[in-house]
Amino acid sequence: MYVVACINYVQMCRWQHHAAAVGVFFVWGELMILFGKLPPFGIYVQMFTTVAKNFSKFLAAYFCLLVAFALSFCVLFPNYQRYVPLKTACYTYVRMQLIFFL
């Protein structure tokens, strides 16, 4: 009980949370590789890696399309605040796509 109470007083920087998230991601990948060596799980890990590779190809193409539309909105609507910075233009485009499909 005392250890849990002391954890609340530890001050962590923002970069430590990011480093922990990246560490958890890489440890999860290593665990998937280790599970892939076990015979009962090998085929499932192979299917997962194939799907992950195909999905990353799709995301790369979609990312290029996202940036292209965001840049075109920045050029077409320079007086609107939601399209001027590229970051908010990307956010606005993703939001418009989600609303369109829902």
Neighbouring residues of 90: CB distance < 8 A, sequence distance ≥ 6: 66, 67, 70
Residue numbers of the domain that contains 83: 2-101
Q: Give tens-digit pLDDT for 18-33.
A: 899 999 999 998 998 8
Neighbouring residues of 86: CB distance < 8 A, sequence distance ≥ 6: 67, 70, 71, 74
Tokens at 35, concatenated: 């599970």
- CA–CA separation, 58 vs 33, rounded Å? 23
Q: What is the pLDDT of residue 1?
A: 45
Using the predicted structure, report yes or no on whether residue 77 has a pLDDT greater than 50. Answer: yes
Q: Give tens-digit pLDDT for 26-60.
A: 999 899 888 888 888 888 888 988 999 999 999 99
Per-residue pLDDT, averaged over 80-99, amounts to: 82
Structurally, the chain folds into a number of domains equal to 1
Using the predicted structure, report yes or no on whether residue 10 has a pLDDT greater than 50. Answer: yes
